Structure 1
Amino acid sequence: MTDELDEITLHGLRAFGYHGVFPHERREGQIFVVDVTLRTDTRAAAASDDLSDTVHYGEVAEAVTSLVTGEPVDLIETLAGRIADALLRFAGVQEVSVTVHKPDAPITVPFDDVTLTITRRRA
């Protein structure tokens, strides 16, 4: 089924959140970066040229940002799962991939980024 779907991707959504297992992460917070890919059929939107026939990526960006800036969680796995669940509630979205970047993760050795990517499908 996914081979018949198109993709809408948002890269690099940035928001400040207080997620993490350490007290200083909850107290000081940090920037999280999120990439999402929505799989949906865009043929109706292409034919009608009407925003109501597709997924409004501005609303997707707001939903993601709201979750990152919202209630803190310990793990980026939990945050990614919440984002995926929210995006699957958008009409027409059949599958979503979510990558959460934690570029300021509390790691004691030099590194560029920590990421977690999940893929979830509509039941």
Structure 2
Amino acid sequence: MASTPDRISVTGIRVRAHHGVFEFEREEGQEFVIDVTVAVDLAAAASGDDLARTVHYGELAVAVARAVERDPVDLIETVAERVAGVALGFDGVDEATVTVHKPQAPIEVPFDDVAVTVVRSRT
């Protein structure tokens, strides 16, 4: 299936979770910031002004947050893969681009952000 050029994006979803390879990350938790963009054909929704023919971005944001909150894992790569799977579960979504930011990552030098981005499609 060819991906559609239409997109819906929700950026800056903030979630407190307990992912990381270090024990203190698992115990204390930290904030993760998620950006998700889904490719979905928006023509029918736009022409009919019909919410049922698009992806409800509020429901998408809640589903993403719940996916990040559950089951701690070592890698943000795993978190990104999990979120992409959730996004692809929405009807009509052909492709999902997910970025997981870990702004409080335990790095010994000053930095602004650490992020992992995955792009996944139904095919």
Same fold? TM cut 0.5 = yes
Which amino acid in 1 is paired with 2:120? R
Unaligned runs of 5+ in 2: none
Whole-angstrom CA distance in 2 between matches of 1:20 and 1:101: 12
Question: Which residue is 2:122 aligned to?
Answer: 122
Q: CA RMSD in A?
A: 0.7
TM-score (norm 1): 0.97
Whole-angstrom CA distance in 2 between matches of 1:88 and 1:67: 13
Question: Per-residue CA shift, 1:55-104, capped at 9, x if unaligned?
Answer: 01111000110011111011000000000011101000000100000000
Whole-angstrom CA distance in 2 between matches of 1:26 and 1:40: 35
TM-score (norm 2): 0.97
Question: Per-residue CA shift, 1:38-65, capped at 9, x if unaligned?
Answer: 0010000001101001001111000110
Question: Which residue is 2:68 aligned to?
Answer: 68
Which amino acid in 2 is paired with 1:62? V
Please identify runs of 4+ aligned residues in structure 1 that moved more than 6 A: none
Whole-angstrom CA distance in 2 between matches of 1:47 and 1:116: 35
What secondary structure does 1:97 align onto? strand
Deviation at 1:5, TM superposition (A): 2.8
Whole-angstrom CA distance in 2 between matches of 1:5 and 1:41: 8
Q: Does 1:42 align with 2:48?
A: no
What secondary structure does 2:103 align onto? coil
What secondary structure does 1:33 align onto? strand
Whole-angstrom CA distance in 2 between matches of 1:18 and 1:54: 32
1:66-105 matches, within 5 Å, as: 66-105=66-105
Whole-angstrom CA distance in 1 between matches of 2:74 and 2:44: 40
Deviation at 1:7, TM superposition (A): 0.5
Unaligned runs of 5+ in 1: none
Question: Which residue is 1:18 aligned to?
Answer: 18
Residues paired across the two proteins, number = 122
What secondary structure does 1:120 align onto? strand
**Identity between Structure 1 and Structure 2 (%):** 56
